[in-house]
Structure 1
């Protein structure tokens, strides 16, 4: 299934893909690139319903109160 990109970067999603994702006019889609470098198209929200982003879940949970200078000294060591 090939399609042509317009000068604005727009493409038409082939009907076979629209049907498989059950997309309707006005639906949002997400684009991602997997580890193999393939582009993945998902119906927006379909893959993440009920799931929190793993970084969002951890955000604000750290209890360590390092000062930048102390942390850099620890990481660099005493060379």
Structure 2
């Protein structure tokens, strides 16, 4: 991305869409140890009222292919030989 002579940059469309940034939106550039973060400010409204609302919206979307929770966690993290599973 190139900075114009006026110090302006164009925010890529994918990022504008993801952050719901449109004309008149407020953003900030926040320095970090890894560079600069673009943060939308102002009228931010989360997509869900609560964590429970989000959890209900994704319920049943993970296919563990019949694995139990312990089997799935072993598959995800790798077996934990240091734990005593009785």
Which structure's relative contact order is higher, taking Cα pairs within 8 Å and 6+ residues apart? 1
TM-score with structure 2 setting the length = 0.45
TM-score with structure 1 setting the length = 0.48
